[in-house]
């Protein structure tokens, strides 16, 4: 019987787990549940401790690099490269023709009221970009220097001083207050910083204050700490992808990122230190997030977190405020991804790798060479965006880890996967059987009683 034809509900699944108990498998899961519950009731709220099955490790689980090739990246993204690549591959003028056809298709779908692509659906997506599109690297709310907050000197007091441990608590508490779902501290690694951004050279210099000029963007060498934040995307809205309304989960996530890092940077400046807020600019958010223990690298070539799977948007703040570094984590994602492949199978453009093992073979100039990964073909991915007139995120939606901790069984599954990888194929099968990752009706979304920002914050936990 195929997975699509299986009729299996949660009651049946629990009966199956009872059978597995007799085989000595699910005691692992039961132990995980008991431990998680105990931790949840006793953890100090300010520390935001994670479940026991999220292990700290000395280096990331997917950390193999070629020292000769792994260096600072050009910073070129598929968004900047796509026009020229399209014309090179399909002939001069191919990009403009594609954009004209895309605009026509958008208008037709809005006139027809195509489910998920009507005018109101489109505005969920477009309006959610407002904060992010009002910002640019080094200016506006993403300014590299103080915007409005008074400095300690302005107030006639000394700057905030304490132990690095206490200052780390302070920064993490502020980040969570401003909206970070997860926050961790990583060391500055210059190899993760782009060579160029916004047409300017990004350089490190022995200066006290960061600067943005017409020619360059200057990061002080004393900025040795990177505050990595993850913003949870609306896990209900993302089930409506690939539609315009579903894509609002991504655009809203980016706007939240811009708000969180700009506000956190101002907070740090107000304490008497320097801070540079960054979203998708200046440097690579993914490796900093991995080094900070936010999550693990995955088959999507993006971070998977224990709490929200890949359904997060990442941002960071560079600072000279002395903090305590977090460690990378291991909760079984790399081993799970080797066996699962659900995201790659579901990708409509075939942009994700189906290889059993990660490797060093990049797919194009948008990939940073020199490190082992499941590299994605961003050209195929972005071409599909043009076809559907909006973003996609299907790979996020179908991932078995894309579940908030709403039901204990999800934590049991994640815990067991972290300690018993031989169970991974079974969990993938059950994820399909329960229908997780299937596209939900975009029209139904409008009639829901939604929480603020579409996020049930009581399910949000983390560092």
Residue 1 lies in a domain: no
| 21 neighbors 28 (Cβ within 8 angstroms) | no
Q: For residue 124, give the H/E element and its range.
A: helix 119-127
Residue 12 lies in a domain: no
Report yes or no on 8 lying in a domain: no
Q: Say what the pLDDT of residue 108 is.
A: 97
Query: What tens digit of pLDDT does each residue of 344-403 get?
Result: 999 999 999 999 999 999 999 999 999 999 999 999 999 999 999 999 999 999 999 997
**pLDDT for the residue numbered 164:** 97
Give the C-alpha distances (Å, rounded to integers) separating 140 from 209, 263, 434: 17, 12, 46
In this predicted model, what pLDDT tens digit does every residue of 142-181 receive, in sequence order?
Answer: 999 999 999 999 999 999 999 999 999 999 999 999 999 9
For residue range 14-69, what is the model confidence (pLDDT) as tens digits?
Answer: 444 443 444 344 434 333 333 333 333 333 334 567 888 899 999 999 888 998 89
Which residues form the domain of 93?
43-402+437-443+450-459
pLDDT of residue 457: 60
pLDDT digits (tens, 9 = 90+) for 401-451: 997 655 556 677 777 778 777 777 777 887 787 778 888 999 999 998 888
Residue 31 in domain? no
Q: Which residues contact 338 (CB under 8 A, 6 or more apart)?
A: 356, 357
Tell whether 412 is covered by a domain: no
Give the helix, strand, coil percentages of the chain, each rounded to 5.
45, 15, 45
Q: What pLDDT is stored for residue 36 in this prediction?
A: 36
Strand 196-197, strand 200-205: pairing: antiparallel
Q: Tell me whether residue 163 is in a domain.
A: yes
Task: Please indicate whether residue 14 or residue 217 has the higher confidence score (pLDDT).
Answer: 217
Question: What is the number of domains present in the chain?
Answer: 1
Unique residue bearing structure tokens 């230190």 = 273
Higher pLDDT, 462 or 259: 259
What are the structure tokens assigned to 456, written together?
Answer: 């049930």
C-beta of residue 293 within 8 angstroms of C-beta of residue 306: no
The answer to whether position 177 is within a domain reads yes
| First and final C-alpha spacing in the chain | 42
Rounded to whole angstroms, how far apart are CA atoms 347 and 344? 5
**Residue 404: its pLDDT value, please?**
60
| CB-CB neighbours of 177 under 10 Å | 12
Question: Is 378 inside a domain boundary?
Answer: yes
pLDDT digits (tens, 9 = 90+) for 74-128: 988 999 999 999 999 999 999 999 999 999 999 999 999 999 999 999 999 999 9
């Amino acid at each position: 019987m195929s997975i699509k034809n299986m009729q299996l509900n949660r009651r049946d699944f629990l009966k199956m787990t009872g059978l597995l108990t007799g085989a000595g498998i699910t005691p692992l899961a039961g132990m995980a549940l008991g431990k998680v519950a105990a931790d949840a009731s006793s953890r100090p709220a300010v520390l935001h401790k994670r479940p026991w099955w999220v292990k700290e490790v000395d280096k990331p689980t997917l950390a193999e690099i070629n020292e000769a090739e792994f260096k600072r990246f050009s910073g070129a993204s598929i968004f900047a490269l796509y026009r020229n690549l399209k014309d090179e591959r399909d002939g001069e003028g191919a990009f403009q023709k594609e954009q004209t056809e895309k605009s026509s298709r958008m208008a037709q779908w809005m006139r027809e009221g195509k489910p998920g692509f009507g005018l109101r659906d489109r505005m969920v997506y477009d309006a959610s970009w407002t904060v992010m599109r009002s910002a640019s690297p080094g200016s506006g709310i993403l300014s590299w220097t103080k915007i409005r907050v008074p400095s300690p000197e302005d107030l006639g007091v000394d700057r905030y001083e304490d132990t690095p441990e206490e200052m780390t608590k302070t920064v993490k508490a502020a980040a969570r207050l401003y909206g970070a779902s997860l926050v961790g501290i990583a060391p500055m690694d210059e190899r993760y910083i782009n060579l160029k951004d916004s047409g300017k050279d990004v350089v490190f210099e022995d200066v006290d204050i960061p600067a943005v000029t017409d020619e360059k963007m200057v990061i002080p060498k004393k900025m040795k700490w990177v505050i990595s934040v993850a913003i949870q995307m609306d896990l209900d809205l993302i089930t409506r992808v690939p539609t315009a309304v579903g894509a609002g989960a991504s655009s809203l996530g980016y706007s939240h990122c811009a708000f969180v890092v700009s506000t956190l940077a101002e907070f740090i400046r107000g304490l008497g230190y320097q801070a540079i807020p960054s979203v998708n600019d200046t440097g690579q958010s993914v490796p900093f997030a991995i080094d900070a223990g936010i999550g693990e690298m995955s088959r999507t070539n993006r971070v998977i977190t224990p709490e929200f799977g890949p359904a997060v948007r990442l941002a960071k703040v560079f600072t000279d405020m002395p903090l305590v570094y977090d460690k990378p984590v291991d909760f079984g994602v790399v081993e799970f991804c080797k066996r699962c492949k659900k995201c790659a199978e579901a990708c409509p453009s075939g942009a994700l790798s189906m290889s059993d093992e990660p490797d060093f073979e990049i797919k194009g100039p948008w990939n940073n060479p020199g490190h082992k990964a499941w590299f994605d073909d961003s050209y195929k991915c972005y071409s599909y965006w043009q076809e559907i007139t909006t973003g996609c995120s299907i790979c996020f939606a179908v991932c078995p880890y894309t579940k908030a901790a709403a039901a204990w069984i999800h934590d049991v599954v994640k815990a067991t996967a972290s300690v018993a990888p031989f169970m991974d194929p079974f969990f993938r099968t059950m994820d399909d059987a329960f229908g997780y990752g299937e596209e939900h009706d975009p029209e139904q979304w409008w009639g829901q009683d939604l929480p603020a920002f579409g996020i049930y914050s009581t399910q949000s936990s983390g560092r």
